[in-house]
Structure 1
Amino acid sequence: MKEVELKILDMSSVLKPSDSFALVLEEVGGEERKLALIIGAVEAQGIKMAEMHYRPPRPFTHDLLLNVMAVGRLQCLKGVIYQVKNGIYSTYLYIRRADGEVDVVDARTSDAIVLSLRAGFPLYVYEDILEKEHLRNISSDGSSYTMSINSVDIDMLKRAMDEAVQCEDYERASQLRDEIRKRENEENNKN
C-alpha cells in the first residue's frame, strides 16, 4: 500500500466548553490534502510541547519511552496511520532493534505524533485512507471545512444531531441518527 508523508499544519480547539482539539495534518508535497484528528487536551498539550521542543524538568511518558528505547538500542523508523474507524485513528510504529530486525507496534496516533516530533522520524498515512478521509470544502481562510463522518466518534455525532434538531435541519439530523444507530448496532453485534 502506498504511504503518503504527513506534517502538522495546525491545531485548534473545536468544541466549547469541551476540551477537544482539531489537529490538522497535511500531505507533504503532492496535492496537500489534509486530515483532521479530534484529540483531547492532554494529547494536544503533549503535541504542543513537542512542537516547541520543551523539555520538562523530569521526563514525561514520551520522554521516558524514548529514553528506554535509546538504552535498548531501539530506533523508531516511521509511524504509519493504517486505519480510521468511528473517529479513532490507529498507527503502527516501525521499530528497528539492535540486531537490525524491524518490529511493528500498534500506537495511538497522538502518541506517534509526539514521538515523531521528539525523535525526528517521519509520519505517514496510507494513500487510500488519506483519499477517503481528507478534509473537503475548505474555506479560503481555512476556518471551516467538511470532515468525513468516519473521522468523528459517536459522542460528537450525537452532539451534531442535537444541534441539527435545534436548527430544524431534520434531514441532517436523520442522517446522523442513522449513522449513530449503524455504529451502535455494529458495536452490539461484536459483543
Structure 2
Amino acid sequence: MNKVQVEILGLSASASTGGAYALLLKEIYGTRRLPIIIGAFEAQSIALEMEGIKPPRPLTHDLLKNIIDHLGGTITEVIIDELRDNTFFAKIKLEVSSLTNEIDSRPSDAIALAIRAGAPLYVSEEVMKIASFVPSSEEEREEDESDLEKPSSGKESIKSHPETKLAQLQDQLRDAIEKEDYERAAKIRDEINKLSSSSN
C-alpha cells in the first residue's frame, strides 16, 4: 500500500457538525490537506497532548499508552487506510515482543495515541486522492505568515481560517454526494466556489 506521511496542521470547532471538531492533516512532503471530523473528547485529548498539558489523572488515551508501555509494546505507526461510506478507518501498528500487530481504530483515537507515542502518522495514497485538497497559493502564504495556532485545550481552538472552512465544506460535499442529496451538494459546491474565488 502506498502511503503518505502527514502531520497535524490544525484543529478547529466545526459549527456545522454540532459540537464536533475539524482536524486538518498536512502532507509533510507535499501540499495536500486532509480534513477529518472528530468528536470533542478526542479533540481535547489531542490538543492537551500537543500543548504538553498533563491532566492530574490519566485520560483514556494516556491510560492506553501506559498499558502498552507496561506490556513492553511500541506503537510504530498509525495509518488512515480507508474511506468507506464517508467514514475514515485507521490502523495502529503495534510491536510487542518482536511481533507486529495491526489494530483497527477510529482515526481520532489512533492519532491521540500516536502523538503520545511519538509515532509517525500516515494516510494511504488512495484516501488522499479521494478526500484531500490543495489550498490556493494565497491560503498557503497566509499560513506561512501567520502560522496556524496550535490547538487549545479550551472549547474553541484555532481561529476561523479559510482553509479550515474550505475543508469543512469539502467534507460536507462528500457527505451530500454519498447520500445522493444533489441539491444540497450543489449549494455546498457554490459555497466552495465562492470561498475559493474570494481568496484568489
Question: Would the alpha carbon gap of residues 64 and 128 (structure 1) be closer, same or farther in structure 2, given more than 3 Å must change?
Answer: same
Identity %: 29
Question: Would the alpha carbon gap of residues 88 and 49 (structure 1) be closer, same or farther in structure 2, given more than 3 Å must change?
Answer: same
* Aligned partner (choices 98, 102, 105) of residue 103 of structure 2: 105
- Structure with larger RCO (C-alpha < 8 A, sep 6+): 2
C-alpha displacement of 1:72: 0.6
In the alignment, the residues of structure 2 paired with residue 107 and residue 61 of structure 1 have an alpha-carbon distance, to the nearest angstrom, of 14
Matches within 5 A, 1:167-182: 172=186
The reply to whether residue 60 of structure 1 matches residue 59 of structure 2 is: yes
C-alpha displacement of 1:140: 2.7
- Specify the SS of the correspondent of 1:57: coil
Aligned residues: 163
* Aligned partner (choices 116, 119, 125) of residue 118 of structure 1: 116
> In 1, are the aligned partners of 2:76 and 2:120 still within 8 Å (CA)?
yes
C-alpha displacement of 1:148: 5.4
TM-score under structure 2 length normalisation: 0.71
- Unmatched 5+ residue regions in structure 2? 140-160, 190-200
TM-score under structure 1 length normalisation: 0.74
Matches within 5 A, 1:136-147: 136=134, 138=136, 140-141=138-139, 143-144=162-163, 145=166, 147=170
Misfit runs of 4+, over 3 Å: 136-139, 148-154
- Unmatched 5+ residue regions in structure 1? 165-170, 176-191
RMSD: 2.9
> In 2, are the aligned partners of 1:6 and 1:26 still within 8 Å (CA)?
yes
C-alpha displacement of 1:152: 3.6
Matches within 5 A, 1:35-184: 35-98=34-97, 100-136=98-134, 138=136, 140-141=138-139, 143-144=162-163, 145=166, 147=170, 152=175, 164=184, 172=186
